[in-house]
Structure 1
Amino acid sequence: MNEAIEVMNNHRTYRDFDENYQLSDEELQQILTASRQAPTWMNGQMYSIIVIKDQDIRKKFVEMNPGNPHMLKSSVFILFAADLKRTQKVAEHYQVDYPIAEGLDPLITAVTDTALAMENAVIATEALGLGSVVVGSIRKDIKEISEILNLPDYVLPIAGLSIGKPTVEMRTKPRLPEKTVIHYDGYQDYDYQEIEEYDKTMEIFAEARETKLWSKKFADYFSNKPNAAVDAFVKEQKFLKD
């Protein structure tokens, strides 16, 4: 099997890291370079990558989000943010309008660019024999984190990435049945039994941190109203109009 494909197929999320292991500057630079080489719409590169080494900042993050102590205990924590500030500067330079708040497409574009850059960082991390965990829950405290990092308008935190040397071996997690995810020449519906079969697969997999069926976990999650703090912050950062 191609080495790159093997790395991707063996992806695992790690949450326990050796606190004494220090990522070398060379390793960090390799990860950041790979991240910046990710696909991007029109070569717009509409993201910013904030490397957070400062222990005091990381402690504040964990205080806000105690369920993710790895943000402090990993070798490094990196924040990935959708960034339309750069193109706003370009608009000012050319003295043209910048009506990005009038529709969702610019925001979707920037978030997509950001996610692609982060995925490249994950793959590069694993290629180096290290581990990582994506932290989407930073959006729970999106305003506070943005203030700590002095993020300007038109910049939106999307997710963080803890990187380090794993201390606990993890298994490769089963994914949904292919027919529920892969479609050819159009969307094909599938029987709910496929989801029930996946529930059984995940029960057998028996990851300790999972206390509910996969389907019940997301039924419960999406039965709650979305995080209103994100909506308010998106508008405050001038991505969308009120």
Structure 2
Amino acid sequence: MEALEIMKQHRTYRNFDETYQLSKEELQTILQASRQAPSWMNGQMYSVIVVKDRGIREQLVALNPRNPHMLHSSVFLVFVADLKRTQKVAEHYQVDYRIDEGLDSLITAVTDTALALENAVIATEALGLGSVVVGSIRKDISEIGKLLQLPDYVLPVAGLSIGKPSVEMRVKPRLPKETVIHYDTYQEYDYSLIEEYDDTMEKFAEARETKRWSKKFADYFESSPNKQVDEFLKENKFFQS
């Protein structure tokens, strides 16, 4: 029940006590929980970069100025989809490594990475700490790759700032269950449910939100997608050039 309550009470924290030092035991507990996440065929196609070095974290913030918590949190983790390990296996057995012929291997690795990330979030909250997932590390993905010295076949998916929260946050409302949960087959629903959620979020009045929920995503998907990710995937052998 404690684990269920932790998941139901999840919230994102972006302000951390800079004087709080994460103990080695706490960090290892989080990392161990992350490593125990389920993965396809037990492939564990991810790696975790533990970023403690202040200089590297300053450069991360320089690339992502809207996320200063990457510097001010106790530790910053970068979760990467890692197909380098299986490339080494293919090389050992002297067989072709054909991941660049389709999307399935990449989807598998990203899924494994996301599961490991979520386990880390739950473990962090079980320890009474807070975190924020950082997807914007993909914005300047080539620079991030160079900064973290990532080899080919390794894709940064998301970061995770962890620390002791200094500002309390509320549990954010979620979309109406009818728009998310489907039984047996995908069920159509009325757009009014999305409008209902727009109203809910407007009443929630999170300071950092300047648009209605639906308008935010209409604008986001109207814009051109981040082509840097496409180029990174080609350059790092996920796709054929």
The TM tier, using the shorter chain, reads over 0.9
Aligned mates of 2:189, 2:240 — CA distance in 1: 38
Q: Is 1:181 aligned to residue 176 of structure 2?
A: no
Aligned mates of 1:27, 1:141 — CA distance in 2: 30
Aligned to 2:140: 141
Which aligned pairs between 1:38-77 and structure 2 lie closer than 5 A? Answer: 38-77=37-76
Aligned to 2:192: 193
Which aligned pairs between 1:27-42 and structure 2 lie closer than 5 A? Answer: 27-42=26-41
| Partner SS for 1:208 | coil
Aligned mates of 1:169, 1:217 — CA distance in 2: 25
Aligned mates of 2:126, 2:240 — CA distance in 1: 42
Aligned to 2:101: 102
Deviation at 1:148, TM superposition (A): 1.0
- Counterpart amino acid of residue 12 in structure 1: R
| Partner SS for 2:206 | coil
Deviation at 1:149, TM superposition (A): 1.0
Q: Deviations over 1:91-119 (max 9, x none)?
A: 00000111100000000000000000000
Which aligned pairs between 1:211-222 and structure 2 lie closer than 5 A? Answer: 211-222=210-221
Q: Is 1:111 aligned to residue 101 of structure 2?
A: no
Q: Deviations over 1:113-146 (max 9, x none)?
A: 0000000000000000000000000000111011
Aligned mates of 2:176, 2:234 — CA distance in 1: 38
Q: Deviations over 1:73-106 (max 9, x none)?
A: 0000000000000000000000011110000000
Aligned to 1:5: 4
Aligned mates of 2:186, 2:128 — CA distance in 1: 37
TM-score calculated relative to the size of structure 2:
1.00
Unaligned 5+ runs, structure 1: none
- Counterpart amino acid of residue 66 in structure 2: G
Aligned mates of 2:236, 2:179 — CA distance in 1: 36
Aligned to 2:207: 208
Q: Tell me how large the CA RMSD over aligned residues is.
A: 0.4
Deviation at 1:151, TM superposition (A): 0.4
Aligned mates of 1:241, 1:177 — CA distance in 2: 41
| Partner SS for 2:79 | strand
Deviation at 1:201, TM superposition (A): 0.3
| Partner SS for 1:158 | strand
Deviation at 1:54, TM superposition (A): 0.1
Instruction: Report percent identity of matched pairs.
Output: 76
Moved segments of 4+, more than 4 Å: none
Aligned mates of 1:226, 1:12 — CA distance in 2: 27
- Counterpart amino acid of residue 20 in structure 2: Y
TM-score calculated relative to the size of structure 1:
0.99
Aligned mates of 1:193, 1:14 — CA distance in 2: 30
Deviation at 1:47, TM superposition (A): 0.2
